[in-house]
Chain A
Amino acid sequence: MMAEASALPRRLLRTQRQRNIVNGLLFAAPWILGLLLFYVYPIFSSLYYSFCDYSILQAPKWAGIRNYLTLFTNDEKFIKSIYNTLYYAFFALPLGLVWGVSIALLLNMKVKGVSVYRTIYFLPVLVPDVALGILWLWVFNPQLGILNALLWKWFHIVGPGWLSDPAWAKPSVIIISLWGVGQAVVIYLAGLQDVPQELYDAAEVDGANAWQRIRNVTIPMITPVILFNLIIGLIGAFQYFTTAYVITTGDGRPALSLMFYAMYLYQNAFVLYKMGYASAMAWLLFLAAVISSYALFRSSARWVYYGGQ
């Protein structure tokens, strides 16, 4: 009896299993093909190009590690672009984290009109990147812009040249990035709303004050979301392009203070047609992204708390 009863479904299961394999592959076929065409093949060809002289007009010519050597030994613009990009990531990420979490914490206090506030902080995210660059050029305009006008009116400070001053250009684009913190705020806020109320109640019963509750309950509970935003932010910072391109019309001025890595890569590839050289830069970027994401993941074992889920 038993054997017969189980034999029938098992036979069905076998054909079901085969059907599943066929269906699974068929449904996934566009993406499997897409991965091969738009990811696997290009990744390996750009690795190959990175060891070649390649101007797209002529076939790639093998050059060994010359591109990499030139980058590190004989290209000040390249070093400058790394410095600028790391500078941007080093300040924009932690500031964005503290700023974003603070706004999310304020919004999570169940104050009246949360949705109005949330909309206000989210609106900057909606401004298309090109419009964003133009808008901030005008806000930061040293002579006629609103920022220096308000600095003078409110504090009697003569504002700096902002985007036109090499010393202030990078802080300026970091300010622009903080204006766009709304996307992260929405994610933090969703994380905060998932923190169970019992934890707060328990902490309160134990006599924890507001700061202690934030420090010991809220922050640990949203560390997974913080990790997510940090990784997304890091990879985004490495690829920072459009706003700076629009502001500087692609040349990274003043004095290369806004020449970011992705902009220099673009310049090499699509203005100078040094495809091999640009591919070497792309691969270095790839390695940097992999290593730093991996390091963040590894470090997360020490500071990310997964007990909540």
Chain B
Amino acid sequence: MGGETVACQVSTATGGARRRRFWRRIGRLWGHLALIPLSIVYMIPFFWMLSTALKTDRQVMVWPPVWIPNPIAWDNFPRAIAFFPFWRFLANTLTIAVLAMLGILISSSLVAYSLARIRWPGRDLLFGITVATMMLPYQVTIIPLFVQFTRFKWINTYLPLIVPAWFGGAFYIFLLRQFFMTIPQELSDAARIDGASEFRTFYQIVLPLARPALATVLLFEFLARWRDFQGPLIYLQDPRKYTISLGLSYFRLEHSTEWQLLMAASLTLTIPIIMLYFLTQRTFIQGIALTGLKG
């Protein structure tokens, strides 16, 4: 209250400032007026997914549709999970994800360190090539790789999905390099003068300071593996080896009209990611912003 009167007194002195503040407030009001209905529209598919996932098969067929299920069919979730089979596919997905995350983290951070903090001829060329590969459509490489993996007898194993990760990923190398560049060079110089090897400088000085960026890499790679469809589609044939995304697409083929089960299964795949988002919101948003800004 007190602040407002002071503000009023000041703004009578400068009518322009008062007017400006007034218009800004009006503008914000318009902002809300646009954002609130839009938010509702954006949430409708989520409400629809949740609502359907909790309906009985008879309620799904009701026209016009109702939002609140009655009775609430909680058992759609256990039924969907059992049909899936969700736990087996989850274990498969996590196996791939963890091994790929480990590979990506180790290899990409080493390479990014070389590109950001060691001066050697050819470094800039390698960085240029790295950026260029990010724009390469994967279709150009997938066929010869499939042929090669067939020769190795790697089809229907997780190896084609895991092994390449241990050689680094262009996007992660780029992201980590940008982050490593921001760490003061003096820290490395000091370590070098103290006689630390390059690897020790990397491991004991740079890596601990880069924890937020490393977390971003792990998070993004986990998400990529969780939602990856094409890789498992191409390389996995035995249904027992399916990942959750691939499993869900087959679930869809077998239960194409049981929408309550399909929505329950889709939610089962989505909810863990949404929870992960709320737990790691900062890492998430900063990571995405980081990829855009230095592009």
Q: Do B198 and A134 have beta carbons less than 8 Å apart?
A: no
Q: Which of B4-12, B68-76, B208-216, B267-275 lies at the interface with chain A?
A: B267-275
Judged by a CB distance under 8 angstroms, whether A71 is at the interface is no
Query: Quick check: is B252 within 8 A (CB to CB) of the other chain?
Result: yes
Cα A225 to Cα B290 with chains together (Å) = 11
State the main secondary structure of chain B at its contact with A.
helix
Contact residue range for chain A? 35 or more
The answer to the question of A157 belonging to the interface, with a C-beta cut-off of 8 Å to chain B, is no
B164 located at the interface, meaning its Cβ lies under 8 Å from any Cβ of chain A in the complex: yes
- Tell me if A231 counts as interface (CB < 8 A to partner B): yes
Q: How many residues of B contact A (CB 8 A)?
A: 94
CB–CB A27/B142 < 8 A: no
Chain A nearest Cβ from B277, distance in angstroms: 6
A42 touches B141 (CB 8 A): yes
Q: Is the interface of A mostly helix, strand, loop or mixed?
A: helix
Whether A46 contacts B143 by the Cβ 8 Å rule is yes
Q: Is the pair A43, B63 in contact by a Cβ cutoff of 8 Å?
A: no
B45 touches A241 (CB 8 A): no
- Distance in Å from the Cβ of B244 to the closest Cβ of chain A? 8
Find the B residue at minimum CB distance from A236: B137
Interface string of B38-80 (1 = CB under 8 A from A): 1100111110110010000000110111000000000000000
Contacts of B269 in A (CB 8 A): 128, 130-131
Q: A27-B198, A129-B229, A286-B140 are in contact. Are A231 and B135 (CB under 8 A)?
A: yes
**Contact of A20 with B119 at beta-carbon distance under 8 Å, contacts A127-B270, A269-B143 already known:** yes
Q: Which residue of B lies closest to A289 (CB)?
A: B137
Whether a CB of chain B sits under 8 angstroms from the CB of A167 is: no
| Contact across chains for A120 and B118 when beta carbons are under 8 A apart | no
Q: In the bound complex, what is the Cα–Cα distance between A183 and B285 (angstroms)?
A: 9
Contact, CB under 8 Å: B114 / A27: yes
- Contact check, A134 vs B20: say whether CB atoms are below 8 A apart: no
Return the chain B residue nearest A116 by Cβ.
B39
Q: How far is the CA of A262 from the CA of B42 in the complex (A)?
A: 28
Which residues of the partner chain A approach B263 to less than 8 Å between Cβ atoms?
134-135, 138
Nearest-neighbour CB distance to chain B for A78, whole angstroms, equals 14
Q: Give the nearest-CB partner of B109 in chain A.
A: A27
Q: Which residue of B lies closest to A118 (CB)?
A: B285
- Taken residue by residue from 1 to 32, chain A's Cβ proximity to chain B (1 for < 8 Å, 0 otherwise) reads as 00000000000000000011101111110111
Q: A46-B140, A134-B248 are in contact. Are A187 and B289 (CB under 8 A)?
A: yes
A149-B64 CB under 8 A given contacts A24-B120, A135-B263, A239-B138: yes
Q: Which of A62-70, A90-98, A251-259, A276-284 contacts B (4 or more CB under 8 A)?
A: A276-284
A219 at the B interface (CB under 8 A): no
Does B184 sit at the interface, judged by CB under 8 A? no
